[in-house]
Amino acid sequence: MNTKLTAIAASIAFSFAAGAYAQTSSGGAGSYGQGTQSQQPTSGSSGGSASTGQQSQKQQIQQQHKAAMEKCEGMQENAKDICKAEADGQKKIAEAQAKVTERDTPKNRLNLAEAKAEAQYKVGKERCDDQVSEAKKACEQSAKAERDSMIAQAKTASQKQTSSGGSASGSTSSSGQAAPSAGSSAVPPTSSGSSASGDSSAAQPTSPSPAQPMGQSR
């Protein structure tokens, strides 16, 4: 009688334990699924906000350029040309600055410096049209020389930044190559590998040796 009661009690306890484990595992799986679902919208929202910000910035630059060009329409002769050159230069500088803000790299900084130099040169060249003869020619040469000097300085600065970044990456790559060389020395040479294969091949003929007692039994 006691044995039957003990068996019944054990079966009841086992059924309760199994039910509790099933509830715990299902609850854990549900919480994990909720956690993964809550993380998904964040990445999409951040990407959407970044693209929206870039579009709004481009639209703002275009609107400012349009407004500046409209102001130039009320001017006459060379003053109008100077005004348009200034508006175009400001637009290109703003676009280059936006790229630097989005991704600050030596190349983008160089493009920004070149945009500034080119804008200054075009405005200066238009101003030279107010002069005549040799004075106009000297003015244009001076504007061109100033532009070339600004671009040369910007390229030199960009090359220094690029070389410093390359040397840093080169040092990391050289340190990364040192690890495989040390690991390669730890690998046994091919001769030992061939000897090991030879030992394994030499060990194979020993397997038929148990057949000899069978011949003797006959």
98-127 pLDDT, tens digit each: 999 999 999 999 999 999 999 999 999 999
Across 71-90, average pLDDT? 94
Domain contains 14: no
> What is the band of 191 on the pLDDT scale with cuts at 50, 70, 90?
very low
Residue 63 belongs to some domain of the structure: yes
Q: Which of 25-39, 90-104, 164-178, 199-213 has the highest mean pLDDT?
A: 90-104
pLDDT of res. 162: 79
Its sign, for the CA torsion 181, 185, 188, 190, is positive
Rounded mean pLDDT of the chain?
71
Residue 156: predicted pLDDT: 92
Q: Are 78 and 130 in contact (CB under 8 A)?
A: yes
The pLDDT value given to residue 168:
52
Is residue 39 assigned to a domain? Answer: no
- Whether the Cβ atoms of residue 80 and residue 125 lie closer than 8 Å to each other: no
Distance (Å, whole) CA 197 – CA 208:
19
> What is the count of structural domains for the chain?
1
pLDDT of residue 148: 95
d(CA 42, CA 35): 12
pTM attached to this predicted model: 0.53
Is residue 189 pLDDT above 90, yes or no?
Answer: no
On whether the CB atoms of residues 104 and 134 are closer than 8 A, the answer is: no
55 vs 14: which has the higher pLDDT? 55
- Does 67 fall in a domain? yes
Domain boundaries, position 74: 52-160
Phi, psi of 135, deg, nearest 5: -65, -40
Q: What is the structure's pLDDT at 217? A: 42
What count of residues does the chain have?
Answer: 218
Q: Is 30 exposed, middle or buried (0-12, 13-18, 19+ CB in 10 A)?
A: exposed
| Spatial separation of the C-alpha atoms in residues 34 and 39, rounded to whole Å | 9
- The answer to whether residue 32 is domain-embedded is no
How far apart (Å, rounded) are the C-alpha atoms in residues 62 and 96? Answer: 13
141 domain residue, yes or no:
yes
The verdict on residue 18 lying in a domain is no
Task: Tell me: pLDDT of 26 over 50.
Answer: no
Residue 98 lies in a domain: yes
For residue 53, which amino acid is it?
Answer: G
Give the rounded distance of the alpha carbon of 192 from its chain centre.
Answer: 45
Write down the pLDDT at residue 13: 52
